[in-house]
Structure formats: structure tokens, C-alpha cells
A and B are shown apart, each in its own frame.
Chain A
Amino acid sequence: MKTEITIDGADSASASYVAWAPVHSSIRLVEPDEDVDFVDVVLRNQHENQGGQIVFLDAIPGEGQDRLRIRLSADGTPLDFFIAGKPGRPSQQDKDAVLETVEADTEVVLSTKALMVRIRKNANDLTAGERDRFLSAFAILNNQGMGRFRDFRDMHRDNTSIEAHGRAGFLPWHRAYLLDLERELQRIDPSVALHYWKFDEPAPNLFARDFIGVPNNLGRVQFEPGNPLEFWATDGAVAGIERSPDFDSNTSAAFVMSEEDTLLLGGPDDLYAGFIDMEGDPHGEAHTSFRGSISRIDTAAKDPLFFMLHANVDRLWAKWQWLNRRFDTAELATYPFLGSAGDPGATRVGHNLRDTMWPWNQETNSPRPPTAPGGDFPPSPTENAPGLVPTVGDMIDYQGTIDLGSRLGFDYDDFLSLIVEHRR
């Protein structure tokens, strides 16, 4: 007798990645013992003291539990339930969160399923293994300037800047950009997430030769021999990275406002229209706390740190959304331009809720740029959203708080799923 579990309708290893947001699952009995109409089973974590941990919910809304007892019919009828990563217990290695099904009375193990609670973490706190996998995946994506990374570099240039900067769509566009990159990294190594640089705190482990590098006197970033970023190249074999901080990266934060001050930018009514000023500070200040490529829009994407900087920008937006419950795209407070370009009161194309976003929409007629690098938005083995041609609005409800189907498949380590929290 054994049980069979599917996660979000899939049984494949590539689909076995969860974050904080609940994921629909199902379980059924296979090859039951004879003369039995039903079997009581318990779902639980195999190793409670190591690895990532899962919580179980029998319904949404509901409360996540460390164990879930359910009754399975001997005729194999599947039973639905939900799983989510346990807050505060993300994985550190691939498939270290092992879900175990045991017979309730005998504790005989009926099946196991290895998952990963894959979370974007503070880069300063990564284990050596997490760091090395992240760097390897990044270096392979770059492939010395020849890899798919080149498209990400080409998406973020002077002549494309207006698609993503200076207007309301700044945050959704960059959320899509980062997610695109993260999914490409995960095609190389599915255990990798796009970790963030928390720029309002010192990050000595990040600014080290075994991670994002340390500059010499000329501002050329030096790496420890064997660091995959040694081979980093962009722009036609311009090998290496130029970056030197104007702050002491061992002991100080960048020249940015604090996280708390950032979350206050929305004003007394916590409006997106005010919060978007974070593009200037802390975002612009984080960029310009350095000399080097990262200090200009046109050259910033040459530096891998840029993506970790923006992961923090996105985390701040996500946290502001969590704090103020800003996931409903019907609310102006969530996003101020509800329609499409050309509607009364609309803003520039690409920055309205229903607008598709360049380059994924492959639009190259003026006023869009003449080419659209990268093609469609990459699909994910674990999520259906945001689809091949995302809109601005598709990037807002990233945890599936309003609509589970909107879930984008990423979460941050320092705060929780609104669903898990909100619907208790």
C-alpha cells in the first residue's frame, strides 16, 4: 500500500518547489490492502529538525499545521489539500524538505516526496552552498558574454529605459525582469533563487571575494580564484566588473533611506502613487552609492550585483504590499493607472495596468524600442502565471492572495504570506 501525491497537478521533480504561498495538492491511495474501505494517514515533515519545512492546510482559508491527518478512500479517490513553506524554515539545499505520508496508527511510511522551500533570501546570510550554486548558475547564464544573460543586458539600456523607469510601471517591469532572470537561472539549477542585497544594512559577506567581489585600487572587482564570476564578461568581451563603493561595505549600509522610511513613502494613505518615489531613494541612491557600471541606467545591468539590488527593491515593494494589503488591482491605492494606454487619464504605454510590457510583448513599433530581446516570458514548471506576455497587472498579486492562480512562485524570507497570515 502506498500513497501518491501531486503538487499543483504535477508529479514531476521539476514541479516540487514551493514558497510561502499555499499550493494546491492532492493525495490518493494506491494498491490498498484488501478488505479496507479507508485508511487514515498523516502528512508530516520527515525531518523536523533539518532542512526546509512544510505546513499543511486542509482548506483555504485555514491554518498551516505541521501535521495533517486525513482519511483516504480505498478506491483511490484523490483528496485535495494545500501545502506551503513553513515561515522561517526555508530550504538550504535542493529537495531537503521531505514530505512523508505514514499510516496513522502504525506509522508505516507509505510514501515520501522531496520538495524544496525555495525562497529569496538576504544574500549576506546565505550558506556557502547556496552562494556557490547561485554564482555558478549566474556565470553559466552569462557564459562569458555569449549566454542568455546578454538579453537581460540588452533589455536595460538607455534606449529602452523609458519602458521601465520614471513612471508607475518601474516596479512591475522590474519584478517581471527579475522573475524572467530567476526562471532562467532555475533552468540551469532549480535550487537557485534570486537573493537580495539588503542595502540599508552592512553586508560584509556579500561584498567579499568569494561572493560579489572586492575592488582593487582601480575599482576593478577582484574574485577569489575559483569564483565563477572570475569569467564574467559583457558588451563584446569587456571582461570583468567595475564597481567600487563610496561607503565601507564591511561596516556600513549604502547611502539609502531605511526600510521603515521607505515603507512610509506612500504617505498617510499608503498609496502606490507616493510609494513609487522609492525609485529615487532608496533605489537611485543604492545605484549611486558606487562608482562603476552600476551607477548608470545604461551600464547597470553589466554588474550581477544589479539584480540583487533590484531584488531588494522588489522585496521592499512586496513588503509594502504586505503591510498595507495592496494586492487588489481594482484599487487605485494598489496601482493608480487601471486601464490601458490611450484610455482617459492613462499614462504612457507599458505603464498602465492592462498594458503588456516590452520586451515580452515583442512590440517594436515606435514608441517601443526597435528590437525586443529575449522572446516570450519563460514558463515555469510550478506556476502558470504570469503567462507568455505579462501585463503590468499580472505582476501585482504575486502570492495569489486575491486569486491563487496569480501566484508567481517567489517569496522573500523576512515576511510571510498574506494568505497564511490573513486568513487565520
Chain B
Amino acid sequence: MLANRPLDKDTPEETIAELVDAVGRSPERRDLLVRLLPERLSLYEGRSTNETTRIRGYILAAFEQTGLPDAALPYVLEELENGRDAYLVAGAAKALRGLDSPTSRITHFLLKAVENVKYVDDALTFETYKPRWPIKDHTTALREIFRTFGWLGTRARSALPDLEALCKERSDEFSQPIRAEIENAIDRIRSDGGTAHVCCGAVSANRGLEIYAPREEQRDGGGIADIELEDQDRNTLTYGGFFRDKPSIVVFFYTRCNNPNKCSLTVTKLARLQEAVADERLVGLLKTAAITYDPEYDLPARLKAYGESRGVAFSDDDRIFRTRTGFRELQEYFQLGVNFSGSIVSRHRIELFVLDGRGEIVVTFARLQWDIQEVLEQAKALL
């Protein structure tokens, strides 16, 4: 009866947790859990950030027990590379231990997660959903990360120099129990006599980064041409009025984002991408834009201040926008990985789109940090 209960925005989170527990007992149904991960699901509409985090972290952690399907991997790697919530990062680290074919390529993500979470680690548990304190034994995100290193065994050999540095030169950055976990991981890696399995699974295909061509419903951008945009200088124009004649690179963000690895870094990288455009003498041939998820709050003065402090250069071809009308339509067209509680963004992914001269999506980069040169190459290919 697992899949028979419809899940929507009104489903109590405890019911969702019960479903996750049930799948844990019937791991052959694990694909059900994957279907619960996209941010834009109506399941997450109206839920607060905390509630969304609890649900997603619990799902991720469950993959340790059920096994981790390839389709779930981008969500896991995204959390390790960019996440700063210890509950989600811990869940992601546990999820990796459900991989059927572990690979050394995930060590990079685990090391990144160490840096992201070591100053914001937390006492947590996945033994129950929405625990009440006091809890008997807690785990932490760092503990789960290093346990996953140990689980990888010989496949994590490439990470040994980094792990040894954490234990020696950087040992004062960790508590004694965590140092013990690191040492344990090092021992397990060294003592594992298996062969390192380098190339297997979805990770090797595209690093977990979702780069994909537009879906069928995204092929016709005509429906959004009349959406009204306002830029950082309070100039108004339509979507079709800006996104035309030249290929464009557009990112989504909002100024109230509290994860520095997401929006702040995205807009900072947009500025660096603008520099790369100039270095390659492509100024005037490409457009860059950032659009806010939070149009009612992110008024032009806020957009301008945010961009300027991150080095964004403004011009006729380079702007930051909010929608004055039609954000929902834009959200639909771009299939944005975002959801809201009221007007507040509750969860979003990193996303960048390359558009052609008609403003239609050609390529999407989603979830992981996009490479500036890679994006530029995609845009140049449209010239």
C-alpha cells in the first residue's frame, strides 16, 4: 500500500516519514523515495525550510538502508558539495553507503563536505523523525562523512593525503571523537586489500552535475515572452525584449539566501563569467542575467547592491532582474528547482541556463557548481 496514499502539500510530514520508514523495510520500492526529491514538487509547497530539510534529510539517510539508485545521486552529491545544513549533509553521507558500486570519484565530494560543515556541525539523529531532546546518542555530519570514507575502503585511497593532513597538521580543527573517526577511516582504507574501482555508475558520467537539454514543455518559450521584467536600475522590459538576438546565460538566485555556497557564490561566479566573456572578446555577443526567486522583496535597489558587492558589471547586455508579472509562468517554463512557503523561498537548487537568441533554453546546468569555461563553451557554440 506504500504508493497508494497520495502525497501533497497537505500531507503531514510525519506521514511522509512513515512512508520513508516503510520503504526502508521494503527496499525494492526505493524509487518511490527518489520521486520525492525534486524541490519543485507540490509536496513541498507551503512547507517551511525546516520542514523541507527534515523530510529531505530523512529520505537521504534512508538510502543507506534501501540502496541508493543512480537517479538519486545528483541530490546526494549536491548536498555534499554545497550544503551547509548538518542534517542534510549527514543524510547525504549516509546515502552514499547505499551505493551498489562505490567509486573513488565521490571522495572529492566528501572532502568538500568536510570543509562546508566543520564549522556548522550539529548533534543529530536519524533514529526517529523529529526527535525530542534529550536524545540518547547523537551522530554528527562529520562523523557520517568519515564513516563513509572508511566504508569506501581502498576506493578512497586518493583521499589519504587529505585525510592524513586533517589528522596531523589540521587536527586542532576537530574534536577528539572526530579525530578518532578520521583515524579509523584511514586504517580501513589502508587495510582494505580490494582494488579501487574507478569508473562506474552515474558519477563518472557527468560528476553528478545535471546538464541536460530542454524537456518537451520547455521547447516553446513563446508563452513567457510577455513577462514583465524590471532590472536593477528600474528599467522595465519584457522577457522577449531582453532575451533575444544574442545567446544568454541566466542564473537564478535571491538576496535572502543564507547558504553562501549557493546564491552568493552563484552571483559572484556570474561576475567572473562576465570577466571571462571580456577576456575572450565576446562582449556584445552574449548576454548575462540573474533573475530573483523573490521578486516582491528583491526590489531594484537590493538587486543592485547585491550584484555590485559581488563584482557584477551592469550594461545593456548584463542585468539583474525581478519579475513584475508572471513569475509563476517563468518558474514553469524553466522548471525551476525551487519551492516556497508563502513568499519565502524554502529550498532551491543551483541552476544556470544557456538560452539561444530567441530566449529558449538550450542547456541547463543544475545542482552542482558549474564550471565557468564549460558554460562559456556552451554559449559560444550558439554564436
Contacts and interface: CB of A to CB of B under 8 A. Distances in A.
Complex contact flag A–B (Cβ < 8 Å): yes
Interface of A: 143, 146-148, 150-151, 154, 157-159, 161-162, 235-237, 364, 366-367, 369-371, 373-375
A150 B119 CA distance: 21
Contacts of B305: 143, 146-148, 150
Interface stretch (B14-22, B140-148, B255-263): B255-263
B310 A159 contact: no
B119 A151 contact: no
Contacts of A150: 305, 309
Interface of B: 84, 112, 115, 119-120, 173, 255-256, 260-261, 264-265, 268, 297, 301-302, 305, 309-311
A371 B260 contact: yes
Nearest to A167: B172
Contacts, number: 47
A148 B120 contact: no
Given A147-B305, A158-B119, A237-B297, A370 B261 contact: yes
Contacts of B297: 236-237
B309 A373 contact: yes
11 contacts: A150-B309, A154-B264, A157-B260, A162-B173, A236-B256, A236-B297, A237-B297, A366-B112, A369-B260, A370-B261, A370-B264
Given A367-B115, A371-B310, A236 B255 contact: yes
A278 to B, nearest CB: 20
Contacts of A366: 112, 115
A150 B268 CA distance: 15
A406 B84 CA distance: 40
Given A146-B301, A237-B256, A374-B309, 7 more contacts: A143-B305, A146-B305, A147-B305, A159-B119, A369-B260, A370-B264, A371-B268
Interface residues of B, dominant DSSP:
helix
A159 B120 contact: yes
A276 B302 CA distance: 39
A150 B120 CA distance: 21
Most buried by B among A151, A157, A162, A371: A371
A371 B309 CA distance: 11
Nearest to A162: B119
Contact of B264 (A148, A236, A371): A371
Contacts of A236: 255-256, 297
A236 B258 CA distance: 9
Contacts of A159: 84, 119-120, 260
Nearest to A147: B305
A186 B110 CA distance: 45
Contacts of B120: 158-159
Given A146-B301, A150-B305, A374-B309, A161 B115 contact: no
A157 B120 CA distance: 11
A159 B256 CA distance: 17
Contacts of A154: 260, 264
A236 B260 CA distance: 14
Pairs A-B, 3 closest by C-beta atoms: A236-B256, A146-B305, A371-B268
B311 A375 contact: yes
A387 to B, nearest CB: 20
Nearest to B309: A151
Contact of B260 (A161, A162, A370, A374): A370
